[in-house]
Amino acid sequence: MNATEPDPLSRFTAKLCLTFLLLSLLPQSAKGGQLTAFAGNCAQDSHINPQQRTRIDSAALRFVQLSLARDFGSAFALASTALQQEVQRDQFDKLWQAGILPLGPFTDLTVKHTYLLHLATLSKTSIRTVCGADLGKPDGWVAVSAEPLVEQAYVELEAQTRNNGWTFTLWLVPAGDAWRIRAFYATGSSVVGKNAADLLHLGRSERDQGRQRNAALLLTAAAQLASRGPFFQLGIQPEISKELQSLNLPSDLRGSPPYVWGQGPAAFRVGQLGPMGIGSKIYLTVTHLVAASLTDSQIDRRNLALMDYIEKEFPEYKLFFAGWIIKGLRENGQTGYTSVRELRPTP
């Protein structure tokens, strides 16, 4: 076990990008804190008093259900006094309206895990501690932030969109007999049924076969799928970070984007690349910069040329991905054109 202050994407954060947004409202106290031994206990799921667990889970579900239903006023009323003081109502509405809801619709909202912390002694500042049933397994523990309160809780909610799974992670604190939302974090947590552990396994397999580019994309995607924000760390995150740190990154993905692929005026300036799940398949999506004066048809030709370049120069991508989704983004950053190519299986 290695619980650290989360570093969700290690040194590759700005380099490789999964097509998920990480969206959150966080208390200032959640952005710090060291792993700390504490006097007390952390109960999980069935080890929590059933009535208390029901109240906690109901509060978390109600908050997300109201937000998904666009009843932002009622949802904001379920936030703690501290969070309401830190986040303005219009910021809250904008996060859901512009950041989360367009990625839906979200279905099958259910509780995955519930954690209840009871602190016997209180520190003057927030701490970071471990909850879990099996500290020897990456999926057997989590590290969480805790404010100087006797009780506080965490709930992981899962939901589905058309192609991917999502997780809403909520930090709750008591308010009289009720529970209120202290912070929450929404992120994609699976791609066409594959979660962080699955992509970690696939990344290791690609690395062991010498396909470093595929490994880099898959391990970075695994790190993003495992991210739950600065106040909640899955036990698998340190393992993924270790693999990323030891990876021999290919020269065409080193440095800071945009990466220059090719030579002379015909070279491509690649800003982002990563896996995208559609249906039951995983595609390689690439965003590259083009001149602002290009028409859509001209961008389409550039996109197709980039596809040809990828197939010729980086043949290992064809061994894993089902096709290419290439977006040429005009240099003004506001408009672009997307082209798609399905890869036909080799006879």
> Measured between alpha carbons, how far is 344 from 206 in angstroms, rounded to an integer?
21
**Mind listing the pLDDT tens digit for each residue in 187-217?**
999 988 899 999 999 999 999 999 988 998 8
What is the model's pLDDT at position 276? Answer: 86
Answer yes or no: CATH 3.30.70 is held by domain 257-342.
yes
Q: How is residue 138 annotated by DSSP?
A: G
Share of the chain above pLDDT 90, in %: 56
- What average pLDDT does range 324-345 have in this prediction? 87
Angle CA(335)–CA(342)–CA(189) in degrees, nearest 5?
70
Across the chain, mean pLDDT equals: 85
What is the model's pLDDT at position 26? Answer: 53
Instruction: Tell me the pTM.
Output: 0.80
Cβ within 8 Å of residue 235, ≥6 positions away: 1, 3, 132, 135, 137, 138, 139, 140, 141, 142, 143
Strand partners, 127: 146
pLDDT band at 100 (very low <50, low <70, confident <90, very high): very high
> Measured between alpha carbons, how far is 290 from 330 in angstroms, rounded to an integer?
5
> Measured between alpha carbons, how far is 250 from 255 in angstroms, rounded to an integer?
10
**Same fold for the pair 10-191 and 257-342:** no
Who has greater pLDDT, 181 or 20? 181
- What average pLDDT does range 110-138 have in this prediction? 82
What are the tokens at 104?
């839906």
Q: 16-25, 144-153, 318-327: lowest mean pLDDT where?
A: 16-25
What is the model's pLDDT at position 130? Answer: 86
pLDDT band at 168 (very low <50, low <70, confident <90, very high): very high
What is the model's pLDDT at position 346? Answer: 45
According to DSSP, the β-strands at 40-44 and 141-146 are unpaired
- What region, left, alpha or beta, does residue 100 occupy, with left being phi > 0 and alpha being psi -120 to 50 degrees? alpha
> Measured between alpha carbons, how far is 246 from 212 in angstroms, rounded to an integer?
11
What is the model's pLDDT at position 41? Answer: 85
CA neighbours within 13 Å on the CB side: how many for 114? Answer: 22
Nearest Cα to Cα of residue 219 among 202, 234, 232? 202
What is the model's pLDDT at position 51? Answer: 96
Q: In angstroms, how far is CA 94 from the centroid of its own chain?
A: 19
Query: Domain 10-191 is in which class?
Result: alpha beta
Every domain of the chain and the residues it spans: 10-191, 257-342
Share of the chain above pLDDT 70, in %: 86
Cβ within 8 Å of residue 61, ≥6 positions away: 109, 111, 157
pLDDT at 179 over 70: yes
- The 3-state DSSP class for residue 328 equals strand
**Mind listing the pLDDT tens digit for each residue in 214-232?**
998 899 889 989 999 889 9
